[in-house]
Amino acid sequence: MIRDLTDEQARAAFPLKWGAVAPGVVPGWVAEMDYRTAEPVEEALVAAVRRGALGYAPFGDGGLGEAFAGFAERHWSWSPPADAVLPTSGVMTGVRLALDALCPPGPVVVPLPCYPPFRDAVAIAGRELVPVTLDPDAAEAVLDLAAVEAAFAAGARTFLLCNPHNPLGRAWSHDELAALASLARRYDVRVVADEIHGPLVLPGAVFTPYLAVDETAVVVTSASKSFNIPAVHGAQLVLLDPADRAVVAGLPIPAQHDWSSLGIVAGVAAWRDCDDWHAALVDRLAAQRSLLGELLGRYLPAARMRPLEATYLAWLDLRAYTVDDPAAAGLEHGVRLAPGADYQPGLPGHVRLNLATSPNRLEDMVHRLATALTPADS
């Protein structure tokens, strides 16, 4: 059911991921999968284009909320009301909008490492960023609630959560999220939760929708990551409070208008019609996760991989190989990975590796990285 793309097909399909590397280099950086999207999504988009449905998106949500509520109920046993969903064009657009229109003034807490545009979004909003930084030697990647509370006590009033977490691969537990929610309540903090990786929780872990523990939060999500369709620009805010929804609905056009009618078509098909494909995807990603573990054991035994509970983005600590920028070293040996310092400025010896590709390419990536980091053994 998962349709792998050849190099040539992937180069045509993903001009960013594959176009940014020279032929022969394996791209394992940006978060796109080397697979075609689910057939129902493809068919819905082709049918929409054939009927000329290339106009502006309709008023309302075009059925997105109902489709999402069904997915949430089937997969997470959580039932948001369908009218809690408001379309927007992208997850980062939604995060920016939330910071501008729905969050109190004051500093914003961001756990580090983080998806780099989080830091940019806080800067664009003109807010001070308060980092809560994970010690790379910590045994487990848990939320440092004492540091979070200190930031709230010092005046921060917004928390930017990535649930599940890119790049750490954590699916935060219900208890951790409930503890964060209780702190947020105590200090009157608003949590903005980016849940784009929510459907990508792998066997052994559980996804807790943050709104299930904190009804006042702003959730921003999209089918774009799990169904590999960022081109269609369809994302959504999930707001349980009708007053929040009224604020967003009342925003002027330049602040919130540019979601795509094709994004709605694709999002409805993805949330509603693709459970079999989604199950096959999770199986494939779990197999790739196991393979990555074996390959690291064989080629890079001193690498430390954070347990990958969710996402297809592995966070690798390669400090044992004493190369400050392993991504740069890898690129010289034919693999492009994302440098760890992009996620946590100043952090040496880490990379983020995208494993959503074929088993062969994954082996090439790890082997080439090993050649780069252990030249004497190559």
Ligand X SMILES: Cc1ncc(COP(=O)(O)O)c(C=O)c1O
Size of the site for ligand X (CB under 6 A): 13
The rounded distance, in Å, linking the Cα atoms of 166 and 77 is 23
Answer whether 44's CB lies under 8 Å from 269's CB: yes
**Residues forming a β-bridge with 132:** 111
Nearer to ligand X (CB atom), residue 84 or residue 235: 235
Nearer to ligand X (CB atom), residue 224 or residue 288: 224
The rounded distance, in Å, linking the Cα atoms of 124 and 281 is 35
Q: Which of residues 189-208 bind ligand X (CB under 6 A)?
A: 194, 196
User: Which one of 33-41, 44-52, 89-97, 126-134 is the stretch in contact with ligand X (CB under 6 A)?
Assistant: 89-97
Residue of 163, 224, 288, 357 interacting with ligand X (CB under 6 A):
224
Tell the smallest beta-carbon distance from residue 94 to ligand X (Å): 8
User: Which one of 48-56, 88-96, 134-142, 338-346 is the stretch in contact with ligand X (CB under 6 A)?
Assistant: 88-96
Answer whether 264's CB lies under 8 Å from 112's CB: no
Tell the smallest beta-carbon distance from residue 342 to ligand X (Å): 12
The rounded distance, in Å, linking the Cα atoms of 174 and 214 is 11
User: Which one of 36-44, 86-94, 96-104, 342-350 is the stretch in contact with ligand X (CB under 6 A)?
Assistant: 86-94
Tell the smallest beta-carbon distance from residue 373 to ligand X (Å): 25
* Three-class SS state of 293: helix
Q: How many Cα neighbours within 13 Å face the side chain of 272?
A: 16
Sheet holding 235-238, edge to edge: 85-88, 235-238, 218-221, 190-194, 158-162, 108-112, 129-133
Relative orientation angle of helices 275-299 and 359-373, to the nearest 10 degrees: 30
User: Which one of 90-98, 141-149, 243-251, 281-289 is the stretch in contact with ligand X (CB under 6 A)?
Assistant: 90-98
Tell the smallest beta-carbon distance from residue 124 to ligand X (Å): 13
**Residues forming a β-bridge with 76:** none
Token representation of residue 57: 């998106």
Which residue matches tokens 């030697």? Answer: 137
Q: Which of residues 269-288 bind ligand X (CB under 6 A)?
A: none
> Given the DSSP bridges, would you call strands 235-238 and 304-305 parallel, antiparallel or unpaired?
unpaired
Residue of 102, 129, 235, 373 interacting with ligand X (CB under 6 A):
235
Alpha helix (H) ranges present in 7-137?
A: 7-13, 39-50, 64-76, 91-101, 117-124
Tell the smallest beta-carbon distance from residue 321 to ligand X (Å): 26
Residue of 5, 10, 64, 162 interacting with ligand X (CB under 6 A):
162
The interface mask with ligand X, positions 28-57, x = CB under 6 A, is ---x--------------------------
Nearer to ligand X (CB atom), residue 166 or residue 228: 166
Q: CA geometry: angle at 15 spanning 165 and 227, to 5°?
A: 45
Tell the smallest beta-carbon distance from residue 135 to ligand X (Å): 22
Nearer to ligand X (CB atom), residue 194 or residue 342: 194
User: Which one of 84-92, 209-217, 265-273, 358-366 is the stretch in contact with ligand X (CB under 6 A)?
Assistant: 84-92
Q: Does 263 interact with ligand X (rule: CB under 6 A)?
A: no
Nearer to ligand X (CB atom), residue 219 or residue 235: 235
The rounded distance, in Å, linking the Cα atoms of 184 and 186 is 5
Which residues contact residue 22 at a Cβ distance below 8 angstroms, ignoring those fewer than 6 apart? none
Q: Does 366 interact with ligand X (rule: CB under 6 A)?
A: no
The interface mask with ligand X, positions 107-146, x = CB under 6 A, is --------x-------------------------------
Token representation of residue 103: 């969050």
Residue of 28, 90, 198, 263 interacting with ligand X (CB under 6 A):
90
Q: Does 164 interact with ligand X (rule: CB under 6 A)?
A: no
Sheet holding 335-339, edge to edge: 26-28, 335-339, 350-354, 313-317, 304-305
Sign of CA dihedral 38, 307, 160, 218: positive
Residues that bind ligand X (CB under 6 A): 31, 90-92, 115, 162, 166, 194, 196, 222, 224, 230, 235
